[in-house]
Amino acid sequence: MIKKEEIETGYSRREMMTIAAAREIKNGEIVFCGTGISMLAAMAAKNISAPQSTIFFETGAIDSRLDEVPLAVADSRVMHATAVNGGLAEAFATMQNRFTGSRVVGILGAAQIDIYGNLNSTAIGDYRQPEVRFSGSGGACDVASFVNRTIIFMQHEKRKFVEKLDYFTSPGWIDGPDGRQKIGLGSGGPETVITNLGVLRFAEESKKMYLAACYPGITPEEVQLNTGFTLDLEQAEVFPPPTSTELKILRQRCDPQRLILD
């Protein structure tokens, strides 16, 4: 199924998102991956720009080889040729650990996000009898609490970028620069939000989300129109499109079956 945008640009939005996230990962970092696109972003980074990054899963796998893309973080594909096969206890301890946690970058997704990067992946409506129920935190709250920085994937829709979360699952900057400190969390926090429209970051002084870049063909106004709170659009640049090398590696090496890309 080829989407309209793909005919126009030669790449899909999902590919753009994956590559945008991959570019955020630094060589030498430990990358916490969830299921789906975040896993693909980590694989892409490792194959393109951060060969010495270490892919790591909450299920306990460290430095998985990933010859094939896993379809869940418990997929047997994450267990092959790892440094250590442990369990959840070891994985989360690595993130809460004072010496290793500071070198972990976490990639998360959510159903709702607010201007401070706090996340809801639990429910819409009343908690005990919700209108829509989602999977729940999984490791998201843990990762968001422990690690040095997080990258967040979102579908850019007004009902997902909200003034107030229906349920506060995972901490972002809480309510500003000293928000995390006030509730007892250490350093760390969300750094980047990658959507199907562009890339958003958090202002240093306020920790409020602003639009850092739009993908080619997207306007800042379009982004604002799909956001449930007011965004600072002043600093928005045009995001560099995927290079042919990036696309080639993503398509041929990371997800040739297009299990996640489609």
Partner 1 sequence: MRSSQNKVTTLTAAIASLVKNNCHLSIGGFTINRNPMAAVYEIIRQQKRGLHLYAHSNGQGVDELIGAGCVSRLEIAYAGSGRFAPTCIRFRRAVERGEILVEDYSNYQMTLRFMAGAMGLPFLPTRSGLGTDIIRHWGFAKSLRKNDNGLPDQKLITIDNPFGDWCDSPKLVLVPAINPEVTIIHVQQADRRGNARIQGLTFADIEQAKAARHLIITCEELVEEEFLKREPDRNQIPFIHVDAVIPITWGAYPTACYRHYDYDPRYLNNYRQTAEDEESYQTYLVEKIMGCANHQEFIALNDDEHLKNLIADPETGYATGLKRN
Shortest CB 239 distance to partner 1, Å: 26
Closest C-alpha among 32, 29, 169 to residue 93: 32
Cα angle: 100, vertex 29, 212; to 5 degrees: 120
Interface residue with partner 1, options 79, 212, 233, 261 (CB under 8 A): 79
Cα–Cα distance for residue pair 178/84, rounded to 1 Å: 37
Q: Identify residues 46-65 at the interface with partner 1 (CB under 8 A).
A: 52, 54, 58-63, 65
- DSSP-derived letter for residue 23 is H
Under rule CB under 8 A, which residues in 110-129 are in contact with partner 1?
122-123, 127-129
Please tell me the distance from the alpha carbon of residue 24 to that of residue 212, in angstroms, as a whole number. Answer: 13
Binding test (CB under 8 A) with partner 1, winner from 47, 130, 212, 222: 130
Q: Which stretch binds partner 1 (CB under 8 A): 11-19, 155-163, 166-174, 244-252?
A: 166-174
Active site residue 246: no
**CA 43/CA 254 separation, integer angstroms:** 6
- List C-alpha distances in Å: 231 to 93, 147, 238: 36, 26, 16
Considering only residues 81-110, where is the footprint of partner 1 by CB under 8 A? Answer: 81-89, 92-101, 103
| Least distance in angstroms from the C-beta of 75 to partner 1 | 7
Residue 193 identity (one-letter amino acid) = V
Is residue 66 part of the contact set for partner 1 (CB under 8 A)?
A: no
Least distance to partner 1, CB of residue 259, Å: 6
Question: Which residues are designated catalytic?
Answer: 58
